[in-house]
Every structure is written in structure tokens, then in C-alpha cells.
Amino acid sequence: MNIVYLTLGLIAIYLYVSAASLLWEGVDRKLVARMQRRMGPPILQPFYDFLKLVSKESIIPRDANKFFEIAPVLALASSIALLAYTPLGFEPLLATKGDVIVFIYLLALIAFVRVMGAVSSGSPYAQIGAQREIIMLASREVPMMLGLFAILWRLSKLGVEKPFSLGTFYQYNIWEIGTPLTVFGTFVLFIVFLLWLASEIEVGYFNIPEAETEVAEGPMAEYSGRHLALFKLSSALKEFASASLVVAIFFPWGISGYLGLTGIGAVVLDLLFHTLKVFIVLFVSMSVFRAITGRLRITQAVGMFWGRILPMSFIGVLLIVIDVLGVIA
Amino acid sequence: MPTKAMFLMIKQMLQRPFTNPFPVKHAPKDVTSLVEKIQKGEVKIYPPVPVPEGFRGKLHYDPERCIGCRLCITVCPANAMEWIPELRKIRHYVSRCMFCALCVDVCPGKKFPGEEKAVKALSMSEEFLIADYDKYSDNLIEEPPEAKEKGI
């Protein structure tokens, strides 16, 4: 594809995903409010919040260094770059062999830049939040990577053009293999991915780094004004991209094929359908999860990742592996 | 996973919210135009939660019934009453008042000819929306009208 079209496509995707992810935040706040029998803010509230933050004065602490101001820009830049590798109902813009590593790297980079910004602020609250964030980061990526690589490896056995690319989910999906072991293993991995998604966007049990009542917003303690607005936008984009990964792995079906659409119409329709699926996955993993669970302590969360979720991931992966290698015929 | 809580939350999501949207459901774009519309009767206000019987709101002072006994000044724990010697009446500052109604209890009142019982000069109203820009505004000071005219 031409590089000009790629750029235009990325800008269009960026604008669309920003609007969709902020819209989801509004829907989520409304839904959680209704679960607690409140009326909740209007659906467009995150847009007003964003505009207000942009228009407010941004205070730079005296002890902050240069990176404090660069970090929000870098975080937003990495989330925009992430969108070029995110499956959004069609193959990612820059889908190539092995782009899954880039995806995981960029996803981790956003959290890492957040931590760097927090450490640069010179506030002890932000430092504690940053420590917790980095501990969570180190724990949560392992089960996810194990499951993701296993599924991509299984799909590459079916003969795909670009092995270990996030585009392969649209050629074959993991449910199609259909043997009982794979289906069961995939289901286990689906639960692992829902938990991973909740920890990636830090809700419910895993709302530990940003714990408002304990460490005063954690990494975001010193951010205000437009710097905070950039961080909020980048975390909204990250939310959408992470949920897109879960949707692409487990529910990659489009509807344009059934309606016989081709070309640009099919892309738009698939994007809208994908957004709907992302909203449903986020409803389960974010809204419900955050309404019904309190936050864990950081030791409990790390124990949960290494003691429960990683073994779960192992079980799912082993079931798939046994199925492929035919150890038990 | 707390499944029971999940079913409760899903059930609650389908129920009506338990909120009194006072004064209007959505925050108005422009408060002044909203007030104008309410005065014209175009917009209806959701009433606040009704106050119970015996509610102690803003103190109401009737100078006609005041005999100047100064019992309310003696009994007021918050020092919200001021004696006006020229008129032998009192002045009450709502911004200092703690709404204990001790002054209402102690007020002997005055009996006009033709009445059976004495009526107290002080009484608690049901008014509780008494926010103001200035703690010495006319709305927050109860005094005899002569005091204001003479500027005492």
C-alpha cells in the first residue's frame, strides 16, 4: 500500500478511535452509575472533561525534570503508533510477519512512559504509584504473551501468509479448529485474556497504581491541565486497543461478508461491528468488573497473576499444544 | 468472583435511578435564563425532598409580638442575637444561627387583645435554601423594619 494512503488511514483511524474510546468511557460511566442506581453523567461527559482539562492551567512542580513534560506526548505518540498495529475488524495497517512483538512492545511502552513521567515529577505519591505500576506491568504481560503466542503459533500451523501477525486472526480463527481440547483450551485462555484486559486498563481488582483513596491518583498525582488530558486520551486509546486485541483473537468474525459488501463499505461496516464487539467485551471486563469488585493489595494482585492466572494460561496453552502435536491421539 | 454482587448490579441497572433531580434534571447552559423561564412558568422545577414535621429551618421573627424580654439572647448558644436598645427589639443573624430552636422554646410572646393565648415572636420556618453571596445580606438578617429605616 502507498505510504500516503497509510498515513491518511492512520489519521482516520486515530480520529475514529479517539471518538469511540471517549464515547465508551461515557457509556461506561453511565452504566456503572445505573448499576448503583444513580443517574450518572451525560454520555458525552468525557469529551467535556477533555476540553476542560485542555483549557486549564498546567502546573509543573518545582522538582520536576524535563521528562515530566515530554512523557504525556510520548504516551500519546505510542498509543497512536499502536493503532497502526491494532486489528480493528480488518487487517492492521502495518501488518507484517511477526508484528505481534511490536504490538506488545508498544502496549508496554505506554505504561512505561507513564511510569517515567511519574518518577520525573518528584512527588513521593507518584513514586509509590509508579512502583506499583511497574510491578503490575511485569506480572501481567507474562500470561498474556504466553497465550497470545500459543494461539498465533497454532494458527500458523494452518498455513498463513504472515505468521505471527495480528492479521492472521482474520484468515483463521481459533474456534474453527473445533477439536474439544482446543475449544476448552481457548475458553481457558479467554478468561485469562479478560483478566489481563482488566489489569491492562486497571479496573476492579487491579486498580492499584491509580488507587485514588490510597496513594492520591498514583502516577497521575502531579499531572494537571493539558498534560493530564494527553494522558487521559492515551489511556482511552490503550483501552480500546487492548480490548481490540481480545476481540480479534476470540471474536474475529465480520459481517460484511454475509452482506456481500466489498471495498470501503466493507471496511467501515467491519469497523463499526468491531467497535460494537469491543464495547461488549469492555462491558464485561470493565464496567461489571469495576462495579462489583474492590481493589486488591499489590501483593495480592501479584500473587494472583503468578499463582492463578499464569497457571491458567499454562493449562490453556498445554491443551492447545497437546492437541496440535497429537501426544494423545 | 463475587457472582452474587454481579447479579444484583445487573438487576439494579434495569431499575429506575434513586435520585431526586432537584432543581432540574440536567444542568442548565445558562442559569439566568433558566430562572427567567421558571418565573414565566415554562419550566417546572422538581421539588426538593419534603421536610419532616417540626423541621428547624430559617428563624422567623415577628417584631410586633416581641416584648423585649431578652430571654432569647440569654439562651442562644451561638450568640446569633443582638439587642437593639433604641427599639427594645432584637436582631438575628442567620449566618451564626445553629438552628437549635432554644430561643423559640423560651420566647414568651405577646397576647394581643381579643386573643386567647400568647403567640411567640420567634418561630422556625421550613425554609432551608438560604445560600447567599454575603453573610450580612438582607436575606440573612432578621430585624424590625424600623431598624433598617433608621440605620441602627
With CA atoms as reference, report the closest residue to A316 among A158, A166, A154: A154
For residue A180, whether the previous peptide bond is cis, meaning omega lies within 30 degrees of 0, is: no
- CB spacing of B17 vs A288 below 8 angstroms: no
Q: Where are the alpha helices (DSSP H) in A64-158?
A: 67-83, 100-119, 124-156
A31/B17 CB distance under 8 A = no
Query: Of A39, A288, A293, which is closest to B17 when you measure between CB atoms?
Result: A39
Phi, then psi, of B61 in degrees rounded to 5: -120, 130
Strand partners, B90: B83
pLDDT band per the 50, 70, 90 thresholds, residue A327:
low
Q: Do B21 and A39 touch (CB under 8 A)?
A: yes
pLDDT in tens, B38-58: 788 777 778 888 899 989 999
First to last CA, chain A: 44
Question: How far is residue B68's CA from residue A91's CA, in Å, rounded to a whole number?
Answer: 88
**pLDDT at residue A178 tops 80:** no
State the amino acid at position A228 in one-letter form: L
Helical packing angle, A124-156 and A225-250, nearest 10°: 20
pLDDT (tens digit per residue) in A274-322:
899 999 999 988 888 888 888 888 888 899 999 999 999 999 888 888 8
Q: What is the model's pLDDT at position A310? A: 92
Q: Which residues of B touch A291 (CB under 8 A)?
A: 5, 9
The overall longest dimension of chain B from CA atoms, in Å, is 76
Contacts of A175 (CB under 8 A, 6+ apart): A183, A186, A250
pLDDT at residue B76, rounded to an integer: 92
The residue in chain B having the minimum alpha-carbon distance to the alpha carbon of residue A34 is: B13
pLDDT given for residue B102 in this prediction: 92
Question: For residue A122, with 0-12 CB atoms within 10 Å meaning exposed, 13-18 middle and 19 or more buried, which class applies?
Answer: middle
Instruction: Calculate the average pLDDT of chain A.
Output: 86
Judge: A42–B10 Cβ closer than 8 Å, yes or no.
Answer: no
Q: What pLDDT does A18 receive?
A: 92
CA distance A81 to A130: 23
The yes-or-no verdict on residue B26 having pLDDT over 60 is yes
Lowest mean pLDDT among A135-149, A169-183, A225-239, A244-258: A169-183
Check pLDDT > 90 for residue A27. Answer: yes
Counting one residue from A and one from B, how many pairs have CB atoms under 8 Å apart? Answer: 37
- Look at residue A244 and tell me whether its pLDDT is greater than 60: yes
Q: pLDDT at position A212, please?
A: 64
Determine the number of helices (DSSP H) and then strands (DSSP E) in chain A: 13, 0
Q: Which three cell numbers stand for residue A265?
A: 463499505
DSSP A54-91: HHSPPPPPTT--THHHHHHHHHHHHHHHHHTTS-SSS-
- How many CB atoms sit inside 10 A of residue B115's CB? 9
What's the mean pLDDT in A218-235? 87
Option in A35, A39, A40 nearest B9 (CB): A35
- Chain B hits for A308, Cβ within 8 Å: none
What pLDDT is attached to residue A207? 83
Question: Of A33, A37, A39, which is closest to B15 when you measure between CB atoms?
Answer: A37
Distance CA A313, CA A294 (A): 24
Q: CB–CB of B26 and A42 under 8 A?
A: yes
> What is chain B's percent helix, strand, coil content, to nearest 5?
30, 10, 60
B54/B51 Cα distance (integer angstroms):
9
Of these ranges, A185-189, A258-262, B91-95, the one predicted with the greatest mean pLDDT is B91-95
Is 70 exceeded by the pLDDT of residue A254? yes
Element of type H or E holding B89: strand B89-93
Residues in A lying within 8 Å of B, measured between beta carbons: 31, 33-40, 42, 288, 291-293
**How many angstroms separate the CA atoms of A71 and A118, rounded?**
9
Q: Among partner residues B9, B18, B19, which is closest to A292 by beta-carbon distance?
A: B9
- Cα dist. B91→A176, B84, B96, B110, B118 in Å? 85, 7, 12, 18, 21
Share of chain B above pLDDT 70, in %: 99
pLDDT score of A329 more than 60: no
Nearest-by-CA chain B residue for A205: B1
Query: Which residues share a beta bridge with A279?
Result: none
- Which residue has 493489595 as its cell numbers? A297
User: B141-142 and B59-61 as β-strands: parallel, antiparallel, unpaired?
Assistant: unpaired
Contact A286, A28 (CB under 8 A): yes
| The pairing of beta strand B59-61 with beta strand B89-93 | unpaired
Question: Is the pLDDT at B20 greater than 80, yes or no?
Answer: yes
Q: What are phi and psi of B116, to 5 degrees?
A: -80, -45
Interface test with A, best of B1, B3, B9 (most A CBs within 10 A): B9
pLDDT computed for residue B44 by the predictor: 77
